[in-house]
Amino acid sequence: MGKKYHNLDGVENTKSFSDFRKWMKERKAKKKDLSVSIERLDNPQTEEVSANRSKTSVTWIGHSTFLIQTGGINILTDPVWAERMGMQRRLTKPGMPIRALPEIDAVLISHGHYDHLDFASIRRLKGDPVFYVPEGLGTSFKRRGYKNVKEAAWWDVFDKEDVRFTFVPAQHWTRRTLWDTNTSHWGGWVIEHKGHSIYFAGDSGYFRGFKEIGEKMSVDAVLMPIGAYEPEWFMKVSHINPEDAVTAYLDLNAKGPFVPMHYGAFRLADDTGPEALERLLAEWEKRALDPEKLNVMKIGETWWV
Protein backbone atom coordinates (compact mmCIF):
# COMPACT_ATOMS: atom_id res chain seq x y z
CA MET A 1 0.00 0.00 0.00
CA GLY A 2 1.30 3.49 -0.89
CA LYS A 3 1.81 6.38 1.47
CA LYS A 4 -1.28 7.86 3.10
CA TYR A 5 -1.58 11.56 3.88
CA HIS A 6 -3.14 13.14 6.96
CA ASN A 7 -4.40 16.41 8.40
CA LEU A 8 -2.90 18.26 11.31
CA ASP A 9 -3.82 16.94 14.77
CA GLY A 10 -5.06 13.62 13.36
CA VAL A 11 -8.33 15.13 12.09
CA GLU A 12 -9.97 12.80 9.57
CA ASN A 13 -13.01 12.69 7.33
CA THR A 14 -14.54 9.49 8.71
CA LYS A 15 -18.13 9.64 7.48
CA SER A 16 -19.69 6.23 6.79
CA PHE A 17 -22.07 5.04 4.09
CA SER A 18 -24.84 5.29 6.70
CA ASP A 19 -23.96 8.95 7.20
CA PHE A 20 -24.14 9.46 3.46
CA ARG A 21 -27.60 7.84 3.30
CA LYS A 22 -28.74 10.07 6.17
CA TRP A 23 -27.53 13.12 4.22
CA MET A 24 -29.34 12.02 1.04
CA LYS A 25 -32.55 11.53 3.06
CA GLU A 26 -32.16 15.05 4.47
CA ARG A 27 -31.53 16.44 0.99
CA LYS A 28 -34.83 15.05 -0.30
CA ALA A 29 -36.66 16.89 2.47
CA LYS A 30 -35.11 20.23 1.53
CA LYS A 31 -36.41 22.43 -1.24
CA LYS A 32 -33.57 24.44 -2.72
CA ASP A 33 -34.02 26.87 -5.59
CA LEU A 34 -31.06 26.14 -7.88
CA SER A 35 -32.40 28.46 -10.59
CA VAL A 36 -31.05 31.54 -8.77
CA SER A 37 -27.34 31.82 -9.46
CA ILE A 38 -24.57 34.16 -8.44
CA GLU A 39 -23.61 37.08 -10.65
CA ARG A 40 -21.64 36.65 -13.84
CA LEU A 41 -19.99 39.52 -15.69
CA ASP A 42 -21.59 40.16 -19.07
CA ASN A 43 -18.47 41.63 -20.69
CA PRO A 44 -15.29 40.11 -19.23
CA GLN A 45 -12.01 41.87 -20.03
CA THR A 46 -10.79 38.94 -22.11
CA GLU A 47 -8.66 40.87 -24.58
CA GLU A 48 -7.05 43.09 -21.92
CA VAL A 49 -6.23 40.08 -19.76
CA SER A 50 -4.83 38.05 -22.65
CA ALA A 51 -2.57 40.92 -23.69
CA ASN A 52 -1.39 41.74 -20.15
CA ARG A 53 2.31 41.15 -19.50
CA SER A 54 3.11 43.66 -16.76
CA LYS A 55 0.23 44.23 -14.31
CA THR A 56 -0.91 41.95 -11.50
CA SER A 57 -4.45 40.73 -12.03
CA VAL A 58 -6.84 38.12 -10.67
CA THR A 59 -9.68 36.80 -12.88
CA TRP A 60 -12.31 34.51 -11.37
CA ILE A 61 -13.24 31.79 -13.86
CA GLY A 62 -15.55 30.15 -11.32
CA HIS A 63 -15.46 27.75 -8.36
CA SER A 64 -11.73 27.48 -7.47
CA THR A 65 -10.38 28.36 -10.90
CA PHE A 66 -8.55 31.67 -11.15
CA LEU A 67 -6.26 33.14 -13.77
CA ILE A 68 -3.61 35.04 -11.83
CA GLN A 69 -1.13 37.24 -13.65
CA THR A 70 1.91 38.51 -11.80
CA GLY A 71 5.59 38.97 -12.55
CA GLY A 72 4.87 38.64 -16.27
CA ILE A 73 3.63 35.04 -15.99
CA ASN A 74 0.16 33.50 -16.29
CA ILE A 75 -0.93 31.18 -13.50
CA LEU A 76 -4.03 28.99 -13.28
CA THR A 77 -5.37 27.53 -10.04
CA ASP A 78 -7.34 24.27 -10.10
CA PRO A 79 -8.39 24.55 -13.78
CA VAL A 80 -11.89 23.12 -14.27
CA TRP A 81 -14.04 23.99 -17.27
CA ALA A 82 -16.14 20.81 -16.97
CA GLU A 83 -19.83 21.21 -17.80
CA ARG A 84 -20.85 18.52 -15.32
CA MET A 85 -19.72 17.25 -11.95
CA GLY A 86 -20.97 13.72 -11.54
CA MET A 87 -24.70 13.70 -12.28
CA GLN A 88 -25.05 17.44 -11.76
CA ARG A 89 -24.83 20.04 -14.53
CA ARG A 90 -22.70 23.09 -13.88
CA LEU A 91 -24.84 25.90 -12.41
CA THR A 92 -22.88 28.84 -13.86
CA LYS A 93 -20.77 28.98 -17.01
CA PRO A 94 -17.03 29.64 -16.65
CA GLY A 95 -16.22 33.34 -16.66
CA MET A 96 -13.86 33.02 -19.61
CA PRO A 97 -13.84 30.46 -22.42
CA ILE A 98 -10.80 28.22 -22.17
CA ARG A 99 -9.88 29.07 -25.77
CA ALA A 100 -9.60 32.76 -24.78
CA LEU A 101 -6.89 32.14 -22.17
CA PRO A 102 -3.36 33.36 -22.82
CA GLU A 103 -0.52 30.83 -22.81
CA ILE A 104 -0.23 29.43 -19.31
CA ASP A 105 3.15 29.33 -17.54
CA ALA A 106 2.19 27.63 -14.25
CA VAL A 107 -0.70 25.52 -12.98
CA LEU A 108 -1.24 25.21 -9.23
CA ILE A 109 -3.28 22.22 -8.04
CA SER A 110 -4.67 22.15 -4.49
CA HIS A 111 -5.72 18.47 -4.48
CA GLY A 112 -7.07 15.68 -6.63
CA HIS A 113 -10.87 15.94 -6.27
CA TYR A 114 -12.59 16.23 -9.64
CA ASP A 115 -13.93 19.73 -9.01
CA HIS A 116 -10.32 20.88 -8.60
CA LEU A 117 -8.45 18.69 -11.05
CA ASP A 118 -9.96 18.09 -14.50
CA PHE A 119 -7.52 16.57 -16.99
CA ALA A 120 -9.90 17.24 -19.88
CA SER A 121 -9.53 20.96 -19.16
CA ILE A 122 -5.78 20.70 -18.70
CA ARG A 123 -5.38 19.09 -22.12
CA ARG A 124 -6.92 22.18 -23.72
CA LEU A 125 -4.56 24.72 -22.16
CA LYS A 126 -2.25 26.73 -24.39
CA GLY A 127 1.42 26.99 -23.57
CA ASP A 128 3.85 24.65 -21.86
CA PRO A 129 3.09 25.14 -18.17
CA VAL A 130 4.87 23.77 -15.14
CA PHE A 131 2.43 21.77 -13.02
CA TYR A 132 2.86 22.28 -9.27
CA VAL A 133 0.93 19.50 -7.57
CA PRO A 134 0.59 17.99 -4.08
CA GLU A 135 2.83 15.09 -3.19
CA GLY A 136 1.43 11.83 -4.56
CA LEU A 137 -0.28 13.39 -7.61
CA GLY A 138 2.75 13.57 -9.87
CA THR A 139 2.26 10.05 -11.23
CA SER A 140 -1.24 10.93 -12.46
CA PHE A 141 0.25 13.71 -14.56
CA LYS A 142 3.31 11.86 -15.81
CA ARG A 143 1.39 8.83 -17.02
CA ARG A 144 -0.64 11.24 -19.15
CA GLY A 145 2.53 12.55 -20.74
CA TYR A 146 3.16 15.68 -18.69
CA LYS A 147 6.84 15.85 -17.85
CA ASN A 148 7.24 19.29 -16.26
CA VAL A 149 5.67 18.37 -12.93
CA LYS A 150 6.79 19.47 -9.46
CA GLU A 151 5.43 17.61 -6.43
CA ALA A 152 5.04 19.59 -3.20
CA ALA A 153 4.94 18.72 0.48
CA TRP A 154 3.63 21.28 2.94
CA TRP A 155 5.92 24.34 3.15
CA ASP A 156 7.88 23.43 0.02
CA VAL A 157 8.94 26.48 -2.00
CA PHE A 158 9.35 26.83 -5.77
CA ASP A 159 10.59 29.76 -7.82
CA LYS A 160 9.57 30.49 -11.39
CA GLU A 161 11.33 33.57 -12.70
CA ASP A 162 10.57 36.28 -10.10
CA VAL A 163 7.49 34.54 -8.69
CA ARG A 164 7.57 32.26 -5.66
CA PHE A 165 5.06 29.51 -4.88
CA THR A 166 4.75 28.03 -1.37
CA PHE A 167 2.55 24.99 -0.72
CA VAL A 168 0.81 25.45 2.63
CA PRO A 169 -1.41 23.19 4.78
CA ALA A 170 -5.17 22.73 4.46
CA GLN A 171 -7.64 20.46 6.26
CA HIS A 172 -9.22 18.20 3.69
CA TRP A 173 -8.95 14.76 2.04
CA THR A 174 -8.89 13.40 -1.50
CA ARG A 175 -9.94 10.52 -3.72
CA ARG A 176 -10.35 9.96 -7.48
CA THR A 177 -11.14 6.24 -7.44
CA LEU A 178 -12.39 3.69 -4.91
CA TRP A 179 -8.82 2.63 -4.18
CA ASP A 180 -6.77 5.83 -3.82
CA THR A 181 -8.25 7.64 -0.81
CA ASN A 182 -5.67 10.05 0.65
CA THR A 183 -2.81 8.62 -1.42
CA SER A 184 -2.02 12.18 -2.49
CA HIS A 185 -1.90 15.32 -0.37
CA TRP A 186 -3.89 18.56 -0.30
CA GLY A 187 -3.13 22.18 0.51
CA GLY A 188 -3.17 25.81 -0.57
CA TRP A 189 -0.68 28.00 -2.38
CA VAL A 190 0.86 31.36 -1.52
CA ILE A 191 1.99 33.28 -4.61
CA GLU A 192 4.58 35.99 -3.98
CA HIS A 193 6.08 38.63 -6.25
CA LYS A 194 8.08 41.68 -5.16
CA GLY A 195 6.64 41.87 -1.67
CA HIS A 196 3.02 41.24 -2.65
CA SER A 197 1.28 37.92 -1.98
CA ILE A 198 -1.93 36.13 -2.94
CA TYR A 199 -3.04 33.19 -0.83
CA PHE A 200 -5.14 30.60 -2.67
CA ALA A 201 -6.61 28.45 0.11
CA GLY A 202 -7.70 25.54 -2.09
CA ASP A 203 -10.33 23.55 -0.19
CA SER A 204 -10.37 23.25 3.58
CA GLY A 205 -12.29 22.98 6.79
CA TYR A 206 -11.49 25.47 9.53
CA PHE A 207 -8.27 24.52 11.37
CA ARG A 208 -5.39 25.97 13.32
CA GLY A 209 -3.26 25.96 10.18
CA PHE A 210 -4.67 29.33 9.13
CA LYS A 211 -3.00 30.95 12.14
CA GLU A 212 0.24 29.12 11.39
CA ILE A 213 0.22 30.37 7.80
CA GLY A 214 -0.40 33.91 9.02
CA GLU A 215 2.47 33.64 11.49
CA LYS A 216 4.95 32.22 8.98
CA MET A 217 4.05 34.27 5.92
CA SER A 218 3.01 37.79 5.01
CA VAL A 219 -0.40 37.46 3.35
CA ASP A 220 -2.10 40.17 1.31
CA ALA A 221 -5.08 39.00 -0.77
CA VAL A 222 -6.94 35.86 0.32
CA LEU A 223 -8.88 33.63 -2.09
CA MET A 224 -11.03 31.74 0.41
CA PRO A 225 -13.70 29.02 -0.07
CA ILE A 226 -17.15 29.66 1.40
CA GLY A 227 -19.37 26.95 -0.15
CA ALA A 228 -20.22 23.24 0.07
CA TYR A 229 -20.73 23.35 3.85
CA GLU A 230 -24.31 22.04 4.27
CA PRO A 231 -25.19 19.82 6.10
CA GLU A 232 -22.51 20.98 8.48
CA TRP A 233 -22.56 17.79 10.57
CA PHE A 234 -21.34 16.00 7.41
CA MET A 235 -19.15 18.67 5.78
CA LYS A 236 -17.54 20.55 8.68
CA VAL A 237 -14.21 18.71 8.73
CA SER A 238 -13.48 19.31 5.05
CA HIS A 239 -15.46 22.40 3.98
CA ILE A 240 -15.41 25.73 5.78
CA ASN A 241 -18.66 27.62 6.26
CA PRO A 242 -18.88 31.38 5.56
CA GLU A 243 -18.64 32.42 9.21
CA ASP A 244 -15.56 30.29 9.87
CA ALA A 245 -14.08 31.53 6.60
CA VAL A 246 -14.15 35.05 8.06
CA THR A 247 -12.45 33.76 11.21
CA ALA A 248 -9.80 32.10 9.04
CA TYR A 249 -9.23 35.36 7.19
CA LEU A 250 -8.69 37.15 10.50
CA ASP A 251 -6.38 34.33 11.67
CA LEU A 252 -4.22 34.99 8.61
CA ASN A 253 -3.76 38.64 9.62
CA ALA A 254 -4.11 39.49 5.96
CA LYS A 255 -3.40 43.01 4.79
CA GLY A 256 -5.43 42.73 1.59
CA PRO A 257 -9.00 41.75 0.74
CA PHE A 258 -11.02 38.59 1.25
CA VAL A 259 -12.12 37.17 -2.12
CA PRO A 260 -14.77 34.42 -1.75
CA MET A 261 -14.63 31.36 -4.01
CA HIS A 262 -15.80 27.72 -4.17
CA TYR A 263 -19.48 28.57 -4.41
CA GLY A 264 -22.09 28.91 -7.11
CA ALA A 265 -20.60 26.65 -9.82
CA PHE A 266 -21.40 23.08 -8.77
CA ARG A 267 -23.92 21.51 -6.40
CA LEU A 268 -21.46 19.68 -4.18
CA ALA A 269 -23.55 20.01 -1.03
CA ASP A 270 -26.97 21.37 -0.04
CA ASP A 271 -26.16 25.07 0.27
CA THR A 272 -26.63 27.32 -2.74
CA GLY A 273 -24.34 30.05 -4.02
CA PRO A 274 -26.65 32.90 -3.00
CA GLU A 275 -27.07 31.39 0.48
CA ALA A 276 -23.31 31.15 1.01
CA LEU A 277 -22.79 34.74 -0.11
CA GLU A 278 -25.67 36.00 2.06
CA ARG A 279 -24.14 34.36 5.15
CA LEU A 280 -20.73 35.80 4.33
CA LEU A 281 -22.07 39.34 3.95
CA ALA A 282 -24.06 39.03 7.18
CA GLU A 283 -21.02 37.83 9.12
CA TRP A 284 -18.85 40.62 7.69
CA GLU A 285 -21.42 43.21 8.81
CA LYS A 286 -21.94 41.52 12.20
CA ARG A 287 -18.23 41.81 12.95
CA ALA A 288 -18.15 45.42 11.69
CA LEU A 289 -15.26 44.66 9.36
CA ASP A 290 -14.07 47.14 6.75
CA PRO A 291 -16.34 46.76 3.70
CA GLU A 292 -13.39 47.75 1.49
CA LYS A 293 -11.63 44.56 2.61
CA LEU A 294 -14.34 42.30 1.13
CA ASN A 295 -13.98 41.85 -2.62
CA VAL A 296 -16.94 39.82 -3.90
CA MET A 297 -16.06 39.17 -7.53
CA LYS A 298 -18.51 38.31 -10.26
CA ILE A 299 -17.73 35.24 -12.34
CA GLY A 300 -15.53 36.46 -15.19
CA GLU A 301 -14.52 39.63 -13.37
CA THR A 302 -10.90 40.76 -13.37
CA TRP A 303 -9.42 42.51 -10.34
CA TRP A 304 -6.40 44.64 -11.22
CA VAL A 305 -4.41 44.37 -8.01
Peptide bond into 231 cis (omega under 30): yes
Q: Can you name the residues that pair with 68 across neighbouring β-strands?
A: 58, 75
CA angle 53, 58, 63 (to 5 degrees): 135
Q: What is the pTM of this model?
A: 0.96
- Structure confidence by residue, pLDDT tens digits, 172-191: 999 999 899 999 999 999 99
Tens of pLDDT, residue by residue over 154-163, are 999 999 999 9
Residues 266-276: pLDDT tens digits?
999 999 999 99
Q: How far is 8 from 11, CA to CA, in rounded Å?
A: 6
Over range 168-174, report the average pLDDT. 98
84 pLDDT more than 90: yes
